[in-house]
Chain A
Amino acid sequence: MSHLPKRRRIERRPPLVLVVLAALGAVFFVAPLAGLIARTPWRRVPELLANDVATDALGLSIATSIAATAVSAVLGVPLAWLLARIDFPGKALLRAVVTLPLFLPPVVGGAALLFALGRRGLIGEALYEGPGLLLPFSVWGVVVANTFVAMPLLVLAVEAGLRNLDPRFEGAAATLGARRLTVLRRVTLPLVAPSLGAGLALAWARAFGEFGATVAFAGNLQGRTQTLPLAVFMALETDRDTAVVLSMLMVAVSLAVLVVMRGRWWRWR
């Protein structure tokens, strides 16, 4: 009993090269954050956060990122299920198209959305001429742009979860007489809950930080489409202290949510 820990400790000592490289990797992420903290004018924080540009942007960012996460879940979970469980021609291509927003420059995504959903767009023209729905320059446009960049993360996470699922659980439930939607609701979804949780957290964080697609598709207007990242970018032009404080606010909110969500859902082991 008392000999075991000793042997383990020897085995566990990590190779020095790895530790050094890992430390360098960590510095790469910590340094910019430290730079931001060093630049923050702490005494002016309350005054700058009370500014209506900041409060409007924070409120809008929270509302639109949550809405985009909800839309991503409603549409993304069925899409992930389709990609994981059903074989159909063109599936590889569809998966590539669904994950494309992860790799496209967001501004390109925003421009593509404008050409598809703008009032002169492929689909947007019908929406505008018919029900009079105009997505660009509206809060709904922000939700669309956020969903476009965020949903792929959720689809990837849930699809991976579904693939790793042992199909015998669902088979057993079906054998016992459960209908297909009941199996999905009572067996499949609870089993992929950790993947779904991780997907929701990632999608939300991505939506909360979205800039390029939003500014290209929804424009930038305080109180209507100016989210926190847009407010930061615009403040860089005029008032650096405000830009830094808004950046710190984004970092704080994102970190808090990711740490909490990770503790709750996202333990890999």
Chain B
Amino acid sequence: MLVRILAGACAVTLALVGCAGRVGGEGGERVIVFAAASLTDVFGDIQVAFQAAHPDVDVELNLAGSGALREQILEGAPADVFASANRATMDEVMLAGETAGPAAVFARNELAIAVPAGNPAGVTGLAALGRPELLIGLCAAGVPCGDLARTVLAEAGVTAVADTDEPDVRALLTKIEAGELDAALVYTTDVIAAGEAVDGVALAAGANVTADYLIAPLAGAANPVGAARFIAYVRSAEGRRILTDNGFLLP
């Protein structure tokens, strides 16, 4: 009796696992894309447009901080394409022999100061990030938006008094949206993506630094053809239109 129950449980488990394995397919192919958190919205749009153009292909997005994605790729996570928010992270993946082709710059981004709607703390520029009475957030050092923010602050001669170093830019933006932080340095595209809950304060001319976004096919890809098609789509006229619609600059 017990054996029969256990055998039944195993059969059910195998059936479920089997089903889960096939969910992506439905007879078609699947492309798994690991993309930096700041690409969340634009890659969502590209995913929809790509699948409309290629109904037989199913794109799966795994969105996280570039460093966390690098770790997953180096540990052998199944992925076909990697899109990073800076060159250093892509270089590390490339040096580890995990890329299957050259990495291409497909988009650029800049920083802006995000403040809650209406700018209650009256933030006008980078200097506000040094005001101790305000609640200030940055991305953590080591995360692309955090490294970029520190470069911009250092060049402006501002010592930021951060109340939190968030693990990725979306976590930071959430706290601005909730009104729990007074100001944070995020990408200009994040301010656009956040909509009405967040206002942006542009940096003074010459104070900004540009971030490169790179995309590359991965050596461990289960679907190298699909990876190439997805990358070609991101770099096509249609892909570039979606990128600029979301506020990205083109290389």
- List A residues at the B interface (Cβ < 8 Å): 15, 17-18, 21, 111, 114-115, 118-120, 136-137, 215-216, 219-222, 224-226, 233-234, 236-238, 240
Contact = CB atoms under 8 A, between A and B. Distances in A.
Contacts of A226: 165
A237 B135 contact: no
B171 A216 contact: yes
A237 B141 CA distance: 9
Counting contact residues on chain B (CB < 8 A from A), the size range is 20 to 34
Nearest to A215: B167
Contacts of A21: 6
Interface in B121-175: 135, 137, 140-143, 162-167, 171, 174-175
Contact of A238 (B67, B163, B180): B67
A234 B179 CA distance: 24
Nearest to B71: A236
A215 B2 CA distance: 44
Nearest to A243: B71
Given A136-B180, A234-B165, A238-B142, 4 more contacts: A17-B3, A119-B180, A233-B167, A236-B71
Q: Which of A21, A216, A234 has most chain B Cβ within 10 Å?
A: A234
A237 B164 contact: no
Nearest to B72: A236
14 contacts: A111-B174, A114-B180, A119-B179, A120-B178, A120-B179, A215-B166, A216-B171, A220-B164, A221-B163, A226-B165, A233-B167, A237-B142, A237-B143, A238-B141
A219 to B, nearest CB: 3
B164 A221 contact: yes
A149 B91 CA distance: 39
Nearest to B6: A17
B171 to A, nearest CB: 7
A118 B135 CA distance: 12
A236 B142 CA distance: 9
Nearest to A118: B180
B175 A219 contact: yes
Contacts of B71: 236-237, 240
A219 B178 CA distance: 13
Contacts of B140: 220, 234, 237
Q: Which 4 residue pairs spanning A and B have beta carbons closest together?
A: A219-B164, A237-B67, A238-B142, A120-B179
B68 interface: yes
Contact of A221 (B142, B162, B174, B178): B162
B65 interface: yes
Contacts of B68: 236-237
Q: Which of A21, A136, A215 has most chain B Cβ within 10 Å?
A: A136
Contacts of A18: 2
A17 B4 CA distance: 11
A115 B174 CA distance: 11
Interface in B64-109: 65, 67-68, 71
